[in-house]
Amino acid sequence: MTASAISIESVTKSFQRETVLRDIELEVEDGEFCVVLGPSGCGKSTLLKCIAGLIESDDGTISLDGRDTAGMSVQERNLGYVFQEFEETLFPHKTVAENIAFGLEQGEQERSPDEIEETIDDILALLAIEETRDDLPGSLSGGQQQRVELARQLSRECPIMLFDDPLADLDYKLQKRMELEMRSLHADLGSTFLYITHNQDQALKLADKLVVMNHGRIEQIGTPESVYHNPQTAFVCRFVGDSNALVTEGVPTDVGDGVVEVETEIGPITATAQNGAEKETGIVIVRPEVVSLDAADCDVTFTGVLEGKTYTGETTEFALSLEGLDRDFYVVVPNNPDIGAIGDSIELGWNVDDALYFDKLSVTDTVTTSDLLDE
């Protein structure tokens, strides 16, 4: 059996009295684009640093291509590592070509001067920044500097690349362009990419395998499609994509086929049980895009009052108030339909399969319904 590119078993890490990684188990296969997604402070950067050897885990094992990394130096791990603060990793007094050459000259593989020049030309062409070859980093735009740092790391031809939220500080349009380039680079190079971010949209676009973390634990692992459409905890459902959350009261009534009836803030609702139906307090989650404003054929129907409208180009988001709910309930529909004026009563509804009931809020005991309402 071929070893995974990255194998993490029971890894734990604490700083003083705070545990930031708790029994992490993860396999990243050779050539996979794995994205670790989670809120700030969930432990994803610490995990990346443990893999890179920048910090040492307290317990557990980390293997790279079947090699246990215990006692292995950063250099021996032969990893590419792209930081978020890319401006600080470039040498300001070296040209772009000299920055890339430095990484090649420090690597394990010996290259002649001609081979180094050829590699520099190839990687600059791959990233479409040939014109920056003789420029200093300070004269480049943020996007160009990011590409130079990518070039410096990719030119080393490491089989495993680690990315610490490298697009976080770029403007919106540049982020979108770089997301496309990251997928293209991965396809061209065939390396294993492990990429961490707090950006849900970016994670869904980039990942072959998506890992959701929270409070130092892994909440769920799967394809972007499976995580989005079949979340295993309420935290995952709330954090990955937009959603409406309704707090429940009392133990749900099982009506068969995985469906329950439960009392919520806006009245009784029939919903699909995702991970059990035994606790007295849970949460029902309904994504805005599954709510219909043509409620005639819906399993569950309510009347709301139109409070606001946001047009985004491809879709329109409507904010409605529902009786008993102290926060807006959101509906997202294609285009820009005319459903009425602010203050009008609106009929809305959804089907049982689209309302997900959770009595397991998270894999941790620290998450409450109040936390999820703030997501």
CATH of the domain at 175: 3.40.50.300
Please indicate, yes or no, whether residues 116 and 147 belong to a single structural domain of this protein: yes
What is the value of pTM for the model shown? 0.90
Please indicate, yes or no, whether residues 224 and 280 belong to a single structural domain of this protein: no
Domain boundary among 187, 207, 229: 229
Closest CA to 46 of 38, 54, 167: 54
Please indicate, yes or no, whether residues 302 and 331 belong to a single structural domain of this protein: yes
CATH of the domain at 280: 2.40.50.140
Please indicate, yes or no, whether residues 223 and 240 belong to a single structural domain of this protein: no
Q: Does residue 225 lie within any of the structural domains?
A: yes
Q: Does residue 1 lie within any of the structural domains?
A: no
Please indicate, yes or no, whether residues 221 and 240 belong to a single structural domain of this protein: no
pLDDT of residue 103: 78
Please indicate, yes or no, whether residues 225 and 241 belong to a single structural domain of this protein: no
Please indicate, yes or no, whether residues 312 and 194 belong to a single structural domain of this protein: no
Segment among 11-20, 158-167, 273-282, 340-349 with least mean pLDDT: 273-282
Domain boundary among 175, 207, 229: 229
pLDDT digits (tens, 9 = 90+) for 32-82: 999 999 999 999 999 999 999 999 999 999 999 999 999 999 989 989 888
pLDDT digits (tens, 9 = 90+) for 297-311: 899 999 999 999 999
Supply the range of the domain harboring residue 258.
236-373
Domain boundary among 196, 229, 262: 229
Task: Examine the pLDDT at 6 and tell me if it is beyond 80.
Answer: yes
